[in-house]
Amino acid sequence: DQQVKQNSPSLSVQEGRISILNCDYTNSMFDYFLWYKKYPAEGPTFLISISSIKDKNEDGRFTVFLNKSAKHLSLHIVPSQPGDSAVYFCAAFSPNAGKSTFGDGTTLTVKP
Amino acid sequence: GAGVSQSPSNKVTEKGKDVELRCDPISGHTALYWYRQSLGQGLEFLIYFQGNSAPDKSGLPSDRFSAERTGGSVSTLTIQRTQQEDSAVYLCASSSSGRLSYEQYFGPGTRLTVT
């Protein structure tokens, strides 16, 4: 039973447009949600997080939205740039377990 | 400061051999995690160390896999009698304690190929 799901394996957008990456979760005990970005041959790097008590967190071009009732979060990138092309992992942190559960990732391609 | 380092970066081994993968976490980080990523797959949790507590081994796929963390710092992941399905990128991550404990810092990974 996968507790964190990213249903879109890939997404392609034009440079300058908005990229929206989605993530669904099942465990209501998660209290932090994170997005990581991964380039080929590198480890994932932390991008942005949101606490379960908030519904939005913004950092420059990146905004994460959390809908707790729907158990859904999304990452918005605007404007998208070719350098944003990477695999994006959604993760949910459980304080009881002390660890994060990751989704399978979405490969974003931003076309010039 | 130095990030998480892993060695070797690449390892090719014959089926049936044992391998050891090493992780040096960020200095002062109390938590250390091992994951693996098979081709085209997501991050699969393997094992988690937190301070002096007993490790969470719930993700280890079989008893051929084991890990230890010496002195609360360096960790070694050992795979015995490797199989072709063990081929993957093995990623190590560490995190601090306290308020930002949910943010993990990943190493570059070790690409393991079992022939």
- The Cα A62–Cα B70 span in angstroms is 38
With tokens 């695999």, the residue in question is: A87
Q: What is the predicted pLDDT for the residue at B1?
A: 56
Q: What is the predicted pLDDT for the residue at A12?
A: 98
SS3 assignment, position B38: coil
- The Cα A52–Cα A75 span in angstroms is 15
Q: What is the predicted pLDDT for the residue at B97?
A: 77
Q: Which of B48, B103, B109 sits opposite A99 (nearest CB)?
A: B48
Confidence of residue B99 (pLDDT cuts 50, 70, 90): low
Q: What is the predicted pLDDT for the residue at B100?
A: 74
Q: What is the predicted pLDDT for the residue at B101?
A: 78
> Within chain B, what is the greatest distance between any pair of CA atoms?
44
Name the average pLDDT for chain A.
Answer: 95
The shortest C-alpha distance from A75 to chain B (Å) reads: 17
Please, what sign has the CA dihedral across residues B28, B29, B30, B35?
negative
Q: Does B43 touch chain A (CB under 8 A)?
A: yes
Q: Is B106 exposed, middle or buried (0-12, 13-18, 19+ CB in 10 A)?
A: buried
Encode pLDDT of B53-76 as tens digits: 888 999 999 999 999 998 878 999
- B40 versus B17: the higher-pLDDT residue is B17
Residues 58-77 of A with CB under 8 A from B: none
- Would you say B104 and B93 are in contact if contact means Cβ atoms under 8 Å apart? yes
Residue A19 has pLDDT above 90, yes or no: yes
Q: What is the predicted pLDDT for the residue at B46?
A: 95
Name the average pLDDT for chain B.
Answer: 92
Residue A66 has pLDDT above 80, yes or no: yes
- The Cα A34–Cα A101 span in angstroms is 10
Best B104, B105, B110, B111 member to test A by mutation, with max A CBs in 10 Å, is: B104
Residue B42 has pLDDT above 90, yes or no: no
Q: Domains, chain A, ranges and CATH? A: 4-111 (2.60.40.10)
Topology of the domain comprising B5-99: Immunoglobulin-like (2.60.40)
SS3 assignment, position B111: strand
Q: Which of B48, B56, B109 sits opposite A43 (nearest CB)?
A: B109
Q: What values do phi and psi take at B70, rounded to 5?
A: -90, 130
Confidence of residue A99 (pLDDT cuts 50, 70, 90): confident
SS3 assignment, position A50: strand
- The Cα A56–Cα A54 span in angstroms is 6
Q: Does A35 touch chain B (CB under 8 A)?
A: no
Q: What is the predicted pLDDT for the residue at A105?
A: 95
Residue A65 has pLDDT above 90, yes or no: yes
- B50 versus B112: the higher-pLDDT residue is B112
Residue A1 has pLDDT above 80, yes or no: no
Confidence of residue A98 (pLDDT cuts 50, 70, 90): confident
- B39 versus A4: the higher-pLDDT residue is A4
Best B102, B103, B110 member to test A by mutation, with max A CBs in 10 Å, is: B102
Residue A84 has pLDDT above 70, yes or no: yes
